[in-house]
Structure 1
Amino acid sequence: MSVYSPALPTPRLADYHQLGPTHQAHFDSFMEQADNTRDATEYAFFMAAAALAAGTPLPPGGEIAKCACTQCYCAAIFDTAAPGLIVIETSTYGLPLLQCADCADEHPTPIED
């Protein structure tokens, strides 16, 4: 017998909607640059810069993401190593676009196989 257990909430490092327009623009730019580079050193730099723009320390794994939920347009910025995340799409370079555990629990939108 399987017992359903909801995922633990994703700890938010920041809320995208709480960032000012300049910080949002910088965050978006750094995340896009991280997505478009193939160089690991550049990727790490852009992740750190995005975290700085969001006003949060970079988590130990070195990666953050903004929830890519298409159901509620969640604004959570979180550690990509958090439990309960769902890949809903992949970027041009094959990086996962993630739905936070809160959204994954409330309205999951997993990638189509």
Structure 2
Amino acid sequence: MEATVANAVMTHAPTQPTTVDYATLSPAAQDTFDRLMEQADITASATEYEALMTAAIAITGIGRPRYNEIFKCACPCTCPVIFDADDPDAHVIEESGGYNLGRLQCPTCADQHPTPAEQ
């Protein structure tokens, strides 16, 4: 008696991007993203903050960030990158100043431009 082995075909799920170019979003998506991020910045509710971040992430199509938090690059060069706020290569440009969102420089800009504190 011979054993038969079934061959399974595995399909790979498409990978989601880890960064997104803000300029590639439609004008309506940009407007919604901006409003969600503004609301996330000023909310006092952790539950609401989480929901706003989840909605902003869904609009961008970015892969699920580690702590469900994304930022748009705040580099003075006007970089359009949206990225995972937990990226270890991102640099803080400005602390939150009492609000929820600080200003972060994306890893690419952090490599190419000094932060204002380093100038």
Q: Which of 35, 52, 62 pairs up with 1:29? A: 35
- How far apart are the structure 2 equivalents of 1:63 and 1:38? 16
- How far apart are the structure 1 equivalents of 2:58 and 2:32? 9
Instruction: State the TM-score, normalized to the length of structure 2.
Output: 0.76
- Structure 2 residue 53 is matched with structure 1 residue 53: no
- Structure 2 residue 114 is matched with structure 1 residue 108: yes
1:31-90 alpha-carbon deviations (Å, 9 max, x no partner): 0100010110000000011111212243131100010001x2111111011121111123
Aligned residue in 2 for 1:7: none
Aligned residue in 2 for 1:5: none
TM alignment of 1:1-113, pairs within 5 A: 12-70=18-76, 72-92=77-97, 93=99, 95-111=101-117
1:88 counterpart SS class: strand
Report how many residues are paired: 101
Give the share of equivalent positions with the same residue, in percent: 51
Indicate if the aligned counterparts of 2:37 and 2:53 stay in contact, CA closer than 8 A: yes
Q: Which has the higher contact order (CA 8 A, sep 6+)?
A: 1
Instruction: State the TM-score, normalized to the length of structure 1.
Output: 0.80
For 1:90, the aligned partner's letter is E
Range 23-32 or range 88-97, more displaced: 88-97
**Structure 1 residues 12, 60: CA separation in 2 closer, same or farther (over 3 Å shift)?**
closer
Indicate if the aligned counterparts of 1:86 and 1:110 stay in contact, CA closer than 8 A: no
Q: Which runs of 5+ in 2 are unaligned?
A: 1-16
Range 87-96 or range 33-42, more displaced: 87-96
Larger Rg belongs to: 2
Q: Which runs of 5+ in 1 are unaligned?
A: 1-10
Range 98-107 or range 55-64, more displaced: 55-64
